Amino acid sequence: MIIPKPVRLNTSPGRFVVDRHTALTTDPAFSEVAAWLRAELGPVVGGELLPGTSSGTITLSAREMPPEAYRLSTGAGGVLIEAGDPAGAFYGAQTFRQLLPPEAFRRAATGQPLPLPAVHIEDRPRFAWRGCLLDVARHFLTKADLLRFIDLMAAHKLNVLHLHLTDDQGWRLEIRRYPRLTEVGAWRRESQLGWNGAMDGRPHGGYYTQDDIREIVAHAARRHITVVPEIDLPGHTQAAIAAHPELGNLDVPLEVATTWGVGANVLNTEKRTITFFQNVMDEVLELFPSPYISVGGDECRKDQWRASPAAQRRIAELGLRDEEELQSWMIGRFADHLAARGRQLVGWDEILEGGAPDGAVIASWRDDHGAVVAAKAGHTVVTCPNTSTYLDYRQAPDEDEPVPFGTVLTLDDVYSFEPVPAALAGDQAAQHVIGSQCCLWTELIDSPRHLDYMAFPRLAAFAETVWSPPERDPADFRQRLNDHLPRLAALGVEYRPDDGPLPWQQRPGVPGRPEETDTWRAKVADWTRNLREGR
Ligand code: TNX
């Protein structure tokens, strides 16, 4: 029936039918939710769902209830959705939509009546951060495709879109003060075809104007999704350095990166570079009301700082131990800048390596160790271990997986993910884990169709791990997924069939990477050791 699975669901005999005469009435507090539901369902039933008419009524009603919680009762008399806040009412409305036949997910249908069973549901989310990271830097996703993706997240009750806007291969956000960031940084000459493949010889690019961003943020907010922007630094910055060579460590000009991997070109540590990015941040803060702002901080290679007299002078002048502490110092400048403006810095677990600033939120991606250390130190933590939540990783060991990458991460693997690390079970520190996110990195995801293939249905399984109670029942999930796939199909989602890619979903000739399950175990062990030893 419903995905993600509600906390409690009882069915009873009887049913209700939504048709073009059905009325919708709402508490004024939920009028935006009502407008959303009208816009979604009106065209399907061929009516307007206005209050008053009536062969039955859908009612949105305000009650004392915890944030995001709702109660939903359906029966011969109509549909009653009760909630304590608009988010709860919205999730009740999403669940209601899933009770209807899959046709309810079309933009317009036959105008036929839509029957739904009589149920009583009580529901609320397990975690406050139910996220998805989307990398629009490696491959740009057009605004229209991004708005569609937000709708799909909302249908699964996810509420955080972590938008990775900048990287070596592209800068995707208009900054008024520094137009070259997009004039130069949003375009690359060509792209590496797959992993370790030839070059495709085809320019790639795109960016969101500030008006686009305002539209995206508003569209997401209406669906109770917070957009958390990520401006990645000091690594993953080659596109910015290509646009502004004064930000880099070398005297030779760079182009926007065309190949994948962890690049050596990182920001220099000059005061004016920090000011530059603080100015960028100020425009970011204007655009994104999110309480959380990510500065990335992942995979910053230190080779150039080791070789740079200026960086070494900086280390000496600040009395720092090494390049790790230099990175921490730099991240600290942004933590202060954000805190002074009432926002909280988010960084990947690498920012723990030279010491993370107080109040930083840690997104822990390399196994659990960073999450455990951070939670015990009192940091707010979002878990997203790559071997459980990286939806850019291959979905099966088979050779017909399109452009395979990473470790094998099947639908069942994602479904069995537990957001709270086992090492924190029963520990007070577990309360610092505010949730999790799945991640869609797009080096090898070069179109919305391939994005659908990688995201679905695994994103549905992920949504259940952050919304539903911790107990898992794979057989029950599979059964509910059978009801869910026709909804995705009605929405036009080109998901991966359970038995592998359809012929047109395969990508023969685009090289992937050999399966990395064993090498990842070794890498993670290395990182864990480094973190433990405070290196
Ligand atoms: C690691 S996760 C990265 C990304 C890559 C991803 C590929 C993280 C913070 N950094 O830059 O796109 O792996 O799976």
Q: Using most ligand atoms within 8 A of CB, pick from 299, 331, 517 the residue to mutate for ligand 1.
A: 299
Q: Kindly give the distance from the C-alpha atom of residue 211 to the centroid of ligand 1, in angstroms, as a whole number.
A: 28
**Arithmetic mean of pLDDT, 452-466:** 98
- 141 with 282, same domain? yes
Taking the alpha carbons of 211, 89, 432, 438 in that order, is the dihedral positive or negative? negative
365 within ligand 1 shell (Cβ under 6 A): yes
pLDDT confidence of residue 109: 83
Residue 48 or residue 442, greater confidence: 442
- Is there a single domain that holds both residue 75 and residue 193? no
Q: Within this chain, do residues 115 and 213 fall inside the same structural domain, yes or no?
A: no
The confidence band for 532, taking pLDDT boundaries of 50, 70 and 90, is: low
**One of 32, 190, 215, 299 is an active-site residue; which one?**
299
Report the DSSP pairing between strands 204-205 and 226-233. Answer: unpaired
d(CA 41, CA 111): 10
CA of 12 to the centre of ligand 1 (A): 47
Considering the domain architecture, whether residues 395 and 423 belong to the same structural domain is answered as yes
Whole-number Å distance, alpha carbon 159 to ligand 1 midpoint, is: 21
404 belongs to a structural domain: yes
| Residue 518 included in any domain | no
Work out whether the CA dihedral 94, 100, 101, 103 comes out positive or negative: negative
**In this structure, is residue 492 part of a structural domain?**
no
CA–CA separation, 478 and 480 (whole Å): 5
213 with 74, same domain? no
* Domain annotation covers residue 517: no
Q: Is 523 in the pocket of ligand 1 (CB under 6 A)?
A: no
Q: Quick check: is 254 in a domain?
A: yes
Amino acid letter, residue 21: H
Query: Which residue segment(s) compose the domain that 378 sits in?
Result: 129-472
> What whole-number percentage of the chain has pLDDT above 90?
89
AA letter at 164: H
Residue reference for tokens 């990477």: 513
123 lines ligand 1 (CB under 6 A): no
**Å from CA of 441 to ligand 1 middle:** 7
Which residue type is seen at 252? Answer: V
Decide if 531 is inside a domain: no
pLDDT over 60 (residue 122): yes
Q: Which of 59, 91, 123 is the last residue of a domain?
A: 123
392 and 410 co-located in one domain: yes
Cβ burial of 25 (10 Å; 0-12, 13-18, 19+) is: middle
The tally of domains found in the chain comes to: 2
| Dihedral pair phi/psi, residue 360, rounded to 5° | -75, 140
* pLDDT at position 535 over 60: no
Same domain, 142 and 116: no
Please write the tens of the pLDDT for every residue from 140-178.
Answer: 999 999 999 999 999 999 999 999 999 999 999 999 999
Same domain, 398 and 262: yes
- For residue 522, being part of any structural domain is answered with no
CATH code of the domain in which 97 resides: 3.30.379.10
pLDDT value of position 205: 98
Q: Alpha carbon of 134 to those of 52, 139, 357, 509: distances in Å?
A: 42, 10, 25, 26
Predicted confidence (pLDDT) per residue in 462-490, tens digit: 999 999 999 999 999 999 999 999 999 99
Neighbours of 388 (CB within 10 A): 22
CA gap 148, 248 in Å, rounded: 36
Percent of the chain whose pLDDT exceeds 70:
99
Q: Is 260 in the pocket of ligand 1 (CB under 6 A)?
A: no
Ligand 1 center to 138 CA (angstroms): 11
Which residue's CA is minimally distant from atom 13 of ligand 1?
441
Q: What is the mean pLDDT of the chain?
A: 95
Residue identifier of the C-alpha nearest atom 10 of ligand 1: 298
* CB 215 less than 6 A from any atom of ligand 1: no
Domain boundary among 123, 150, 179: 123
Which DSSP symbol is given to 248?
S
* Residue whose CA is at the smallest distance from ligand 1 atom 14: 441
Specify whether 316 is located in the same domain as 384.
yes
Name residue 228's beta-bridge partners. 162
Tell me whether residue 452 is one of the annotated catalytic residues.
no
Catalytic (active site) residue 400 = no
Residue nearest to atom 7 of ligand 1 (CA): 441
Distance 439 CA to ligand 1 centre (A): 9
Out of 27, 68, 123, 167, which one is annotated catalytic? 167
Q: State the CATH number of the domain containing residue 366.
A: 3.20.20.80
Q: What is the reported pLDDT for 224?
A: 98
pLDDT at 506: 98
The alpha carbon of residue 380 and the mean position of all alpha carbons in its chain are separated, in whole angstroms, by: 17
Instruction: Encode pLDDT of 257-311 as tens digits.
Output: 999 999 999 999 999 999 999 999 999 999 999 999 999 999 999 999 999 999 9
Q: Distances from the Cα of 93 to the Cαs of 141, 380, 391, 407, 520, in angstroms?
A: 28, 30, 27, 37, 41
pLDDT, position 162: 99
User: Which residue among 441, 443, 451 has the greatest number of ligand 1 atoms within 8 angstroms of its CB, and so is best to mutate?
Assistant: 441
Q: Which of 105, 123, 141 is the last residue of a domain?
A: 123
- Pocket residue to mutate for ligand 1, from 233, 238, 294, 298, most atoms within 8 A of Cβ: 298
- Give 263 Cα–ligand 1 centroid separation in angstroms: 12
Distance CA 496, CA 209 (A): 32
Written as six digits, the tokens of 380 are 């707010």
Please work out whether the CB of residue 390 comes within 6 Å of at least one atom of ligand 1: yes
My answer on whether 198 and 217 are in the same domain is yes
3-class secondary structure, 521: helix
Query: How confident is the model at residue 468, as a pLDDT?
Result: 98
Looking at the structure, tell me whether residues 82 and 136 fall in a common domain: no
Strands 114-123, 8-18: pairing is antiparallel
Active site residue 299: yes
Q: Ligand 1: which atom is nearest the Cα of residue 442?
A: 12
- Using alpha carbons only, what angle is made at residue 132 by residues 261 and 493, rounded to the nearest 5 degrees? 100
Tell me, in angstroms, the distance from the centre of ligand 1 to residue 529's CA: 20
Q: Assess whether 156 and 99 both reside in one domain.
A: no
Span from the CA of 275 to the centroid of ligand 1 (angstroms): 26
Predicted confidence (pLDDT) per residue in 192-246, tens digit? 999 988 999 999 999 999 999 999 999 999 999 999 999 999 999 999 999 999 9
Instruction: Identify the residue whose C-alpha is closest to ligand 1 atom 9.
Output: 298
Options 139, 162, 224, 236, the catalytic residue:
236
pTM of the model: 0.97
424 is a domain residue: yes
pLDDT band at 519, cuts 50/70/90? confident
Kind plus residue range of the DSSP H or E element containing 330: helix 323-339
522 compared with 100, residue with greater pLDDT: 100
Q: Whose CA is nearest to atom 6 of ligand 1?
A: 441
Confidence of residue 36 (pLDDT cuts 50, 70, 90): very high
